[in-house]
Amino acid sequence: MATPVRVAGAGALAAVLAAAVSRPRAVSRLVRSLVARAAGSPTYAPLPPPQKVKVALCQLHVTADKDANMRTARKAIEDAASSGAKLVVLPEMWNCPYSNDSFPTYAEDIEGGASGSVAMLSAAAAAAGVTLVAGSIPERCGGKLFNTCCVFGSDGKLLAKHRKVHLFDIDIPGKITFKESLTLSPGPGPTVVDTPAGRLGIGICYDIRFPELAQLYAARGCQVLIYPGAFNMTTGPVHWELLARARAVDNQIFVLTCSPARNPDSGYQAWGHSTAVGPFAEILATTEHGPATVYAELDYAQLGERRANMPLRQQKRHDLYTLLDKAGQ
């Protein structure tokens, strides 16, 4: 896959050098504006994508029994592959109950993952021959815990790891209070993965609330944003679909969300409603709150069409505002 490349103008460089001699303050202004422009409108080499990809969003029944959760996940991956899916997505925290009490107990060392969830995921991706965005599990590393999504290639190789960058710390009195930061640490940055199923930008649940992350992924040439997530019964009904469609329409990009099924026995009631959204913010496929696999076909040609119909990227006013990609490649 092509690597994204920033393009700097040779003319602009000559202008800076010529002016540097006579007008140092004007030069400093010019440099600042060029840096902002480069950051706000990076140019990337085109990506040769697969044209169409069938995706499966596995809304799993998650319990306190880790082995049972692993069996459920493996079966869902196999079934999705049998149905023709090439890109399979699992939910946030699919191997444990979503609670601060559970995260330390169920956490795994991913890098040394010769056993447990990571070994199962790798074997399942290879056996099924799919790209697997494996939801998230609690990761233990260097004395810290992270909420981590592993992405596996169809040969079972671990292609990337995304550690949730925005932790879910909210307090809506009488409704929901949750503080992931009591047990988890935030991840270091964005995660872009090139796969045979397209260029993927990964976020986990609360990450979807931050439009800058999605914008940055779009600027880096991602074709689809994937958010394993577990929204709740207060924010889910009002925000889950809204946020997925907002990220899609802002960036003219595909968005996939994948939740655990709602388990009445669980302390945390997940909203469910795993959904695939197209680049015109249209719902391609969705479900209710029970265990289910949602299938959709992503036609990447639509990205070019939508962006040609409505050229938002070219119409941005980088002289007024800009996205600063601090983690730029």
Ligand X SMILES: NC(=O)CCC(=O)C(=O)O
Instruction: Give min distance, CB of 242 to ligand X, in A.
Output: 11
Distance of CA 228 to the CA centre of its chain: 7
Cβ atoms of 236 and 205 closer than 8 Å: no
Nearest to 94 by CA among 152, 139, 147, 135: 135
Compare residues 98 and 300 and give the one whose CB is closer to ligand X.
98
Backbone angles phi, psi at 16, to 5 degrees: -60, -45
Strand partners, 198: 195
Nearest to 286 by CA among 246, 327, 255: 255
Verify whether residue 164 is a known catalytic residue.
yes
Compare residues 146 and 206 and give the one whose CB is closer to ligand X.
206
Distance of CA 49 to the CA centre of its chain: 18
Q: How far apart are CA 311 and CA 137, in angstroms?
A: 38
Instruction: Give min distance, CB of 235 to ligand X, in A.
Output: 3
Instruction: Give min distance, CB of 230 to ligand X, in A.
Output: 5
Compare residues 207 and 325 and give the one whose CB is closer to ligand X.
207
Q: How far apart are CA 86 and CA 64, in angstroms?
A: 29
Compare residues 178 and 254 and give the one whose CB is closer to ligand X.
178
SS3 192: strand
CB atoms within 10 A of CB 126: 16
Verify whether residue 92 is a known catalytic residue.
yes
Instruction: Give min distance, CB of 231 to ligand X, in A.
Output: 4
Compare residues 106 and 206 and give the one whose CB is closer to ligand X.
206
Point out the catalytic residue in the list 164, 222, 241, 258: 164
Q: How far apart are CA 116 and CA 150, in angstroms?
A: 13
Compare residues 41 and 100 and give the one whose CB is closer to ligand X.
100
Nearest to 56 by CA among 42, 31, 73, 69: 73
Q: How far apart are CA 284 and CA 297, in angstroms?
A: 8
Binding site residues, ligand X, CB under 6 A: 92, 168, 205-206, 209, 229-232, 235, 239
Point out the catalytic residue in the list 58, 66, 86, 92: 92
Cβ atoms of 115 and 121 closer than 8 Å: no
Instruction: Give min distance, CB of 301 to ligand X, in A.
Output: 32
Point out the catalytic residue in the list 58, 149, 150, 205: 205
Instruction: Give min distance, CB of 253 to ligand X, in A.
Output: 20
Q: How far apart are CA 171 and CA 238, in angstroms?
A: 16
Verify whether residue 205 is a known catalytic residue.
yes
Question: Active-site residues: which are they?
Answer: 92, 164, 205
